Structure 1
Amino acid sequence: MPRRPQLYVADPRDIREGRVTDIYFTRTKRILEAKGLCDTLVRAEFHAYSLPKGYEWAVLAGLEEALAILEGRNVDVYAMREGTLFKPVEPIMVVEGPYCEFAELETAILGVLRHESSVATKAARLRLAAGDKALLFFGLRSAHPALAPMLDRAAYIGGCDAVSGTISREMLGLEPKGTMPHALIIVFGDPVKAWKAFDEIVEPEVPRIALVDTFYDERYEALLAAKTLGDKLFGVRLDTPSSRRGNMRRIVEEVRWTLNLHGYNNVKIIVSGGLDENDIIELRDVADGFGVGTSIAFPPSIDISMDIVEVKRGDKWVPITKRGKLPGMKQVYRCKPLNDTIVPWGQKPEKNCGDGSEPKPLLEKIMEKGELLTEVPSLDEIRNYVLSQLKELGESYTSPSTKQH
C-alpha cells in the first residue's frame, strides 16, 4: 500500500520524557551512566550572551512550558518571573540537580524559551512602535499549525491586543479577533454583497471591519463600505499588496480624508500586510490599528543557551564553565527601569539605586525537587507585567527603528 500522509508533530509526552532531543545528549547520558557520573550535581544557567542588532533587551517567555517539561524531575529551578525584560549575559533561569535528570531535556527547554522569547520580544517592540494604537496578531499562517497556541500566547504576552487563532479561545482563554479575508469577497464577486452577507450572518458583537482593497481603489471601496453599512461600520482594513502600494502613508491619508469629507469620521482605519516596526512608526499617527503577522511569527532569534556554571565536588560547589562564559551561579539585581547588576550568587550589589531604594533580586526559587513552589501566573498577569515594564522605560527608550547598542 502507498504510504499515507501524516502530520509531523511531537507528542507532549515525548517532549517531557526527553525523546525530542539532540542525539548527543542521549549519547552523553549513556556515557555518564556507564562511568558512574550520572548523579553529578550541576548548576546549569540559561542566558543570551548577545541579542539581535538594535535590541537592548528581550522578553522572557516560555517559562511555563519549560517548567512543564521539568515538572516531576529531581531538580530545583531558579528563574526570573515570566515576562521580565532581560539584558545580555544575565541568567534568566538556573536548573540545579543531577545532570542526567535533565540532560536530554535541554533541547526542548531551549526550544520553548528561545522561540517564545523571540516572539514576545518582537511583539513588545511593535507594541512600543504602535504606541496607543491597536495591535493585532495575524501570523498563524506563517508557521506550523502545531505552534499556533504558542505563537498566540507569546504575541499576547508581548503586548498584542488580540490574536486570531480559534484554538486560543479554548487553550488560552483569548477571544479570537478578525473579520474577513479576500476569499470571502472574491467568492461573492462583489464587495458590497460580501459586506452585507457578513453583517447578516456574523454575530452582532463582532465589529464590522470591511476589507477595502480587493477589486477597486482603497479610497473608493472604503467610501462604498461606509455607505453600505452606515453606522454599523466600525472600520476598514487596508491589506494592499506591496506591488500596488506606492506610498502607503499617502493611501491611508487619502482614505481618511475621503471618509471625513463624507461625514464618516468615526470609521477606523486598520492597516495590515507585511508590516514591521518602521512601517508602524511611519503610519501610527494616521492609522488606528495594525494587523501584524510574519514579522512577529518569524522574528529575529533571541539566542538563549544553557551552560553548566558550577559542579559540586564533595560538599563544595566549584565554579566552572567553557571559555567565553562567566563561571559560577549568579543573581541579577535591578534598579528601575533596566539598570541591572550581575553578582555571584549569595552576594549583593555594593550600591543602592539612584533613588536610594535597594536593588531587587530577579531570580527566585520556583521549583524544588520537581515540585512548583508558586502558582503559575495567568496570561493577563504576565502581559500586564510586560506592559508595566515597557511603560517604565519611558523617555529612556528611543524609537525601535534607530536605537543601537
Structure 2
Amino acid sequence: MSTSAGWDLPRTSLYTDHYELTMLQAALHSGAAHRKSVFEAFARRLPDGRRYGIVAGTGRLLEGVAAFRFGEAELDFLGRTGVVNQQTLDFLAGFRFSGDIWGYPEGEAYFPNSPILIVESTFAEACILETYVLSVLNHDSAIASAASRMITAAGGRPCIEMGSRRTHEESAPAAARAAVIAGFDSTSNLEAGLRYGIKTVGTAAHSFTLLHNTERDAFEAQIASFGAGTSLLVDTYDVEAAVRTAVELAGDKLGAVRLDSGDLVAQAQWVRQLLDQLGNENTKIVVTSDLDEYAIAALQSAPVDSYGVGTSLVTGSGAPTASMVYKLVSRTDDSGEFVSVAKTAKNKTSRGGRKYALRKLNERGVATQEIVGIGHRPDDDGNDRPLLQHFMKNGELLPGWTGHEGVVRARQRHADTMAELPSVVNRLQRGDAAIPTIYEED
C-alpha cells in the first residue's frame, strides 16, 4: 500500500500476537466470529503524577489498518508453522477491515478512562487488530505526552526532536511525528521528513571537528559549505575560544552556536554576553545534552533560543507507554441485540457499553469535566465540545486524518486543547488528572 505521502507501508497483519489468531480460529469454530462487536482503547490511569495525556499515532494506525492484509508470505508462514488451521487461513486470505473507527483526534488531551479509540465491526475483524492498535497508540501517545510537557516548559522557545539514535529505527520517525504533533518545531530524522512532511534540521557533531586538524579548519569548511547562517558546535575543546573563532570566521551573520555539555545555565549566560560583546546580538544559542522537561524548565532563566531533545523524549520521559488497553465493551447476542460486556476482576474493572465523550466547558471556555455517556450522547450546554471523530467508515479512510495533512491538523488540535485546559496542566509538579472523568449511564 502506498500512503498519501507516497512511501510504501509494509503489510501490518503480523504486527500482532499469536493469541489474536487462536481466538479468531476458535470464534470461527463456534460461529461467534461474525457477531457485531464494539472494542474500545483507553487508559485506566495516567502515568504516576501526570495531569493529562496527549493522543498520538491515530493517523499512522489508520494507514496500518487499511494495509492490514494477509498475502502469500504471511499465509504460508501461518500455515507452515501451524498457527491456525485451513478454515482460518481461508478467512484471512480475504481479510479486509470493513468496519467503522471513531476516536479522539490526534493532539487531543485524554484522561483516565477516556474512550480514545472505538472500533465497530465483527469480532473477527476487531479482535485481530488489538496488538497493532495498542502498539501504535501506546508508543506515540507516550511520546506526545512527554513532548507536550516539554513544550510547556520551553515557554514558547522552539524544541527540536533529536532522539533517533536512542530508539528503534522504525520507532524513530513515529516518535518525531508524535513530538511535532505536540508542538516540537522540527526533527533530525530524515525518514520522518519524507513520510510526514516534517521540517528536518541538523549541522555537525563533534566528530566533524575532530576530523579536521584544527577547530578553525572545521568551522571554515562548514561555513564555506552552508554559509555564515549555519550553527556551529562550540564545546569540542574550549568554548570561549570556539565562539571567538566562529565569530571571526562568520561575522555577525553567524546563525547559532550549540552547547552540548557542562553547566548549561551558566554557560549560556556568559556565551550570550560574549556574543553580544563581539557584535553578534542576533546569533542564537541552541542547547542539547540529555534534556527533559525539568532541565528545560531550569533553563527558562538562561538566554537560550532553542532546545534539542533526544533520549528523554523518545522514551516518554520516564513513561515509555501510555498503558492503554483494548477491550470488548459491547456485542450482539443471539437475537442480534447489542449487550454490554465488561471484565469484572477486582483489580482490573472495565465499563461495558458503547461510549460517547464530551468535554464540559465553563462560561470562560475552560474545561471542567470529561463526560462519558454509556449508550448515549451526553447533553451539550451549548459551548461544550464532542470529542469523538469518525475516522473510518465501512473500511474506508475518511479524509484529513493521515499524511502531512493529518500532522498539521493534529498539531493545531494540540494547541487548541492545551489552551482550553485549566492552568494546572502547566505545572510539572506531580498531581491528579487536570479534570475528572464522569460517567453518565443510560
Whether TM exceeds 0.5 here: the answer is: yes
Match of 1:31 among 26, 30, 36: 26
Cα gap change, 1:394 to 1:105, in 2 (>3 Å): closer
Amino acid across the alignment from 1:63 = T
Report the CA distance between 1:374 and its aligned residue. 3.8
Query: Secondary structure of the equivalent of 2:258?
Result: strand
Aligned length: 379
Report the CA distance between 1:394 and its aligned residue. 6.5
Does residue 1:303 correspond to 2:323, yes or no? Answer: yes
Query: Secondary structure of the equivalent of 2:400?
Result: coil
Residue matched to 1:52: 47
For structure 2, list consecutive stretches of 5 or more residues without a partner in the other structure.
1-7, 67-95, 433-442
Structure 1: distance between partners of 2:233 and 2:359 = 46
Does residue 1:214 correspond to 2:267, yes or no? Answer: no
Does residue 1:389 correspond to 2:410, yes or no? Answer: no
Structure 1: distance between partners of 2:383 and 2:267 = 52
Amino acid across the alignment from 1:345 = G
Cα gap change, 1:124 to 1:27, in 2 (>3 Å): same
What is the correspondence of 1:358-377 to structure 2 with a 5 Å cutoff?
A: 358-376=383-401
Deviation string 1:10-31 (CA, Å, 9 cap, x unpaired) is x95441xx32211111111111
Deviation string 1:81-101 (CA, Å, 9 cap, x unpaired) is 222111111101111111111
Amino acid across the alignment from 2:40 = E
For structure 1, list consecutive stretches of 5 or more residues without a partner in the other structure.
1-10
Residue matched to 1:87: 111
Q: Does the aligned pair in 2 maintain the 1:80–1:362 contact within 8 Å? A: yes
Amino acid across the alignment from 1:89 = N
Cα gap change, 1:120 to 1:165, in 2 (>3 Å): same
Residue matched to 1:97: 121
Residue matched to 1:344: 374
Deviation string 1:84-123 (CA, Å, 9 cap, x unpaired) is 1111111011111111113222111111111111111111
Does residue 1:137 correspond to 2:161, yes or no? Answer: yes
Q: Does the aligned pair in 2 maintain the 1:219–1:254 contact within 8 Å? A: no
Query: Secondary structure of the equivalent of 2:16?
Result: coil
Amino acid across the alignment from 1:213 = D
Structure 1: distance between partners of 2:412 and 2:248 = 39
Normalising by the residue count of structure 2, what TM-score does the alignment of the two structures yield? 0.81
Does residue 1:178 correspond to 2:202, yes or no? Answer: yes
Residue matched to 1:6: none
Cα gap change, 1:394 to 1:190, in 2 (>3 Å): farther
Structure 1: distance between partners of 2:241 and 2:259 = 12
Amino acid across the alignment from 2:372 = I
Q: Does the aligned pair in 2 maintain the 1:43–1:309 contact within 8 Å? A: yes
RMSD: 1.9
Structure 1: distance between partners of 2:416 and 2:169 = 31
Of 374-383 and 306-315, the range deviating more from structure 2: 374-383
Normalising by the residue count of structure 1, what TM-score does the alignment of the two structures yield? 0.88
Percent of residue pairs identical: 27
Deviation string 1:14-73 (CA, Å, 9 cap, x unpaired) is 41xx32211111111111112222112211011011111221211111111222233341
Structure 1: distance between partners of 2:293 and 2:98 = 43
Structure 1: distance between partners of 2:389 and 2:408 = 21
Structure 1: distance between partners of 2:138 and 2:359 = 23
Residue matched to 2:280: 264
Query: Secondary structure of the equivalent of 2:116?
Result: strand
Residue matched to 1:294: 311
Query: Secondary structure of the equivalent of 1:176?
Result: coil
Amino acid across the alignment from 1:386 = H
Structure 2: distance between partners of 1:102 and 1:261 = 64
Match of 1:192 among 195, 198, 216: 216
Query: Secondary structure of the equivalent of 1:145?
Result: coil
Structure 2: distance between partners of 1:207 and 1:145 = 30
Cα gap change, 1:63 to 1:75, in 2 (>3 Å): same
Structure 1: distance between partners of 2:112 and 2:422 = 21
Query: Secondary structure of the equivalent of 1:389?
Result: helix
Deviation string 1:245-290 (CA, Å, 9 cap, x unpaired) is 2x43112212122222333222211110100111101112311110
